[in-house]
C-alpha cells in the first residue's frame, strides 16, 4: 500500500450569515488577503491554504460551551502574547465568553459565533 496522502487540505469554508463581515474579521486577525467578496461568499488566501465564508439563510450560531453538538470544529491559533492577542482579537470584533476551560489558552468567538482558541506559540514545540 502506498503511504502517500490521498489529498491535501487547501481550504476550509465556514457557514455564516454575513460573509463580508466574517472575511473582514479573519483577514485582520490572520493578516490574510481577501481575494473574493460577494454577497453570498467571500474567501481569504493565506500562505498555503484558503479560508472561505458561505452565507446560509437563517444561519444559527454555534454554541459555546458546546452543549448541543453545534460546535463541530474550532481553530487553534498560536500567538506570542496571549493577553495582547486576545485584546487585539476583541478590538476586531471577537467575543470572550465567560466559559474558559484552561489557563494556557483562551476561547474566543468570531463575529459569526464560531469558537476559536488562542494559545501560546511556545506550547506548540
Cross-strand pairs, 76: 117
List domains and CATH numbers for the chain: 11-58 (3.10.180.10), 71-125 (3.10.180.10)
- Which tens digit of pLDDT belongs to each residue from 56-99? 999 998 888 877 767 778 899 999 999 999 999 999 999 999 99
Cell of 115: 469558537
> pTM to 2 decimals?
0.86
Enter the DSSP assignment of 35: E
Residues 6+ apart with CB under 8 A from 49: 9, 10, 11, 12
Cell of 40: 453570498
- At 3 the pLDDT is 86
Let me know: does 63 contact 115? Beta carbons within 8 Å: no
pLDDT at residue 53 is higher than 90: yes
- At 67 the pLDDT is 72
Percent pLDDT > 90 in the chain is 72
Amino acid at each position: 500500500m502506498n503511504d502517500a496522502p490521498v489529498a491535501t487540505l487547501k481550504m476550509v469554508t465556514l457557514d455564516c450569515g454575513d460573509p463580508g463581515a466574517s472575511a473582514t474579521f479573519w483577514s485582520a486577525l490572520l493578516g490574510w488577503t481577501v481575494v473574493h467578496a460577494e454577497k453570498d461568499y467571500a474567501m481569504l488566501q493565506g500562505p498555503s491554504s484558503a479560508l472561505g465564508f458561505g452565507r446560509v439563510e437563517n444561519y444559527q450560531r454555534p454554541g459555546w460551551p458546546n452543549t448541543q453538538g453545534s460546535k463541530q470544529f474550532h481553530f487553534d491559533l498560536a500567538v506570542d502574547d496571549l493577553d495582547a492577542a486576545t485584546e487585539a482579537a476583541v478590538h476586531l470584533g471577537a467575543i470572550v465568553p465567560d466559559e474558559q476551560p484552561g489557563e494556557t489558552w483562551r476561547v474566543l468567538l468570531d463575529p459569526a459565533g464560531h469558537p476559536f482558541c488562542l494559545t501560546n506559540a511556545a506550547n506548540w514545540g
